[in-house]
Amino acid sequence: MADVVLENVTKIYDKKKILDSVSLNIEDKEFLVLVGASGCGKSTLLRMVAGLETITDGKIYIDGKCVNNVHPKDRDIAMVFQNYALYPHMNVYDNIAFPLKMRGYSKKEIEKKVQEASEILDLGEYLQRKPKQLSGGQRQRVALGRAIVRQPKVFLMDEPLSNLDAKLRVQMRSEIKKLQKRLETTFIYVTHDQTEALTMGDNIAILDKGVVQQHGEPAYVYEHPANTFVGGFLGSPAMNFIPVTVNNGKTSINGVEIDIKGEGNLILGVRPEKISTDGEIKLPVSIDIEEMLGSEKIVYFEVNGAKCCAKLPPEKQIEKQASLAFSLRDVHLFDAQTGMKI
């Protein structure tokens, strides 16, 4: 088992910074999720930990050892890819056993480790099948099994669930989390899916344009976003951002004057689930559209010219000209220029 430390890790392609001085401390047995939009650098960072990408600057440590110049096969890591990377001509048993055969394990040792992995992943009845005879979820479990048998210090996972349908993704999220707890191994998991990040990680690191915007426990990051990017990225629907100008601690929102801490041009952030029909600050709004989602209703409207939405109970009846409310304790204030929380 091992911790992973990244110190000012930088990657430059063709004079463009893909990653800019990324520093993270991932503790032994921790499940860290790297999350961000496509092109933010998260997969590149994972590949640098694996040794599949060179480091332009900075250092990476695995179990206290700098691995900048260590070959991938000597880093004692296992990587699970988005496309599973299974050998189509081999059955499940041979796919899982392959890394052990390459390392010269005896036939008896291989059989023991494959049986253990297949039991953990409920693959026993599929060991003689070829990958094409398996479902997407079963193929993903085979890929996990091939990583498990190596008993690596660190598991690296690059968008492993993105090829699965929505229902199977939910199931596999819990399976991978249970697997990590059972193996007691360090996991670094890359995804663009905020739901995966919030539900799976002990900690999450949110990347944008090669920079870590915030790093911490999912609940804390959700409740205390460091800037408008984090507030807007986490949450579905995203946080509402309302531009306000504060003079002497007062501002006007949709014609309603309120007291607010701060001064000058600010952005007021409030999450859709914190808006209701009853609260400290009531605003007149015109409802543009309603979306019924079974367990909740999403209503859309404008506040100070900004498009906003609220999550309401599905049975809540609301007129086109309505009054929606929130409390100041649920408000986040950001600097209008920098986007940083104040």
CA 333 to centroid of chain Cα atoms: 24
Q: What is the pLDDT of residue 1?
A: 65
What residue segments make up the domains of the chain, in order of their start? 4-229, 237-335
pLDDT score of 122: 87
Residues sharing a CB contact under 8 Å with residue 81, sequence separation 6 or more, in sequence order: 143, 158, 160
**pLDDT of the chain along its 342 residues, tens only?**
699 999 999 999 988 999 999 999 999 999 999 999 989 999 999 999 999 999 999 999 999 999 999 999 899 999 998 887 889 999 999 999 999 998 899 999 999 999 999 988 889 999 999 999 998 888 988 999 999 898 899 999 999 888 888 888 888 898 899 999 989 999 999 999 999 999 999 999 999 999 999 999 999 999 999 999 999 999 999 999 999 999 999 999 999 999 998 899 999 999 999 999 988 999 999 999 999 998 999 999 999 999 999 999 999 989 999 999 999 999 999 999 999 999
CA–CA distance, 259 with 87 (Å, rounded to integer): 64
pLDDT at 330: 95
223-243 burial code (b ≥16 CB/10 A, e <16): eebbbbbbbbbbbebbbbbbe
* Residue 42, H or E segment: helix 42-50
Lay out the sheet containing 332-335: strands in order across. 240-246, 264-270, 332-335
121 φ, ψ to 5°? Answer: -100, 5
Strands 31-35 and 186-191: parallel
Quick check: helix, strand or coil at residue 114? helix
Fold of domain 4-229: Rossmann fold (3.40.50)
Instruction: Please give the model's pTM, rounded to 2 decimal places.
Output: 0.91
Burial class for 277, CB neighbours closer than 10 Å (0-12, 13-18, 19+): middle
Question: 192 vs 89, 195, 206, 237, 339, CA distance in Å?
Answer: 31, 9, 10, 15, 22
